[in-house]
Every structure is written in structure tokens, then in C-alpha cells.
């Protein structure tokens, strides 16, 4: 995964409403994030697979950060 794509993903996570990130189930959240990235970038199948794996490995972190934004307190 390129540094630019990694920055785009985390920027997307930071700018997405926290309530959206915590309300979606795991599979839906991964697919939603992939769809948003694909809309903003031209990604091939290999890149999509790599990003999919990366998001799945970071779901707990993504949800913790979103929950922290919702409560305003560290998780």
C-alpha cells in the first residue's frame, strides 16, 4: 500500500461521522470504506485486496477512535 493511499484511508476515517463508523457491522464498514476510497482513487483489484486486509486488521482501532470522538474521552 502506498503512503498516499494510507493517508487517504485515515483521512477518510477521520472525516467520516463517528456514529457511522461505530454503527456499521464489520463487513459493512469494510465495504463502505472501500467504496469511498474507490470513488476517490483509481484502484486495481490487488490494491483493493491489500486495503481490505489492512482495514480488517485495524477495525478495533477504527472503532476505538470513533468511539473516542463520540464521547470526547480517551477509550
Q: pLDDT tens-digit profile of 49-68?
A: 999 999 999 999 999 999 99
CA–CA distance, 68 with 50 (Å, rounded to integer): 27
Contact 18, 70 (CB under 8 A): yes
List pLDDT tens digits, range 10-36: 999 999 999 999 999 999 999 999 999
Q: Does residue 5 form part of some domain?
A: no
20, part of any domain: yes
Confirm whether 3 is domain-assigned: no
**Cell numbers representing residue 64 in the block:** 476505538
Please give the grid coordinates belonging to residue 61. 482501532
Nearest to 69 by CA among 18, 5, 34: 18
Single pTM value for the model:
0.88
72 φ/ψ angles, rounded to the nearest 5 degrees:
75, 10
- Domains in the chain, number: 1
What is the extent of the structural domain holding 37? 15-70
Amino acid at each position: 500500500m502506498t503512503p498516499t493511499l494510507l493517508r487517504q484511508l485515515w483521512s477518510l476515517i477521520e472525516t467520516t461521522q463517528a456514529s457511522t463508523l461505530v454503527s456499521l457491522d464489520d463487513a459493512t464498514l469494510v465495504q463502505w470504506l472501500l467504496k469511498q476510497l474507490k470513488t476517490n482513487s483509481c484502484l486495481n483489484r490487488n490494491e483493493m485486496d491489500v486495503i481490505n486486509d489492512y482495514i480488517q486488521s485495524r477495525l478495533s482501532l477504527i472503532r476505538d477512535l470513533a468511539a473516542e470522538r463520540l464521547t470526547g474521552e480517551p477509550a
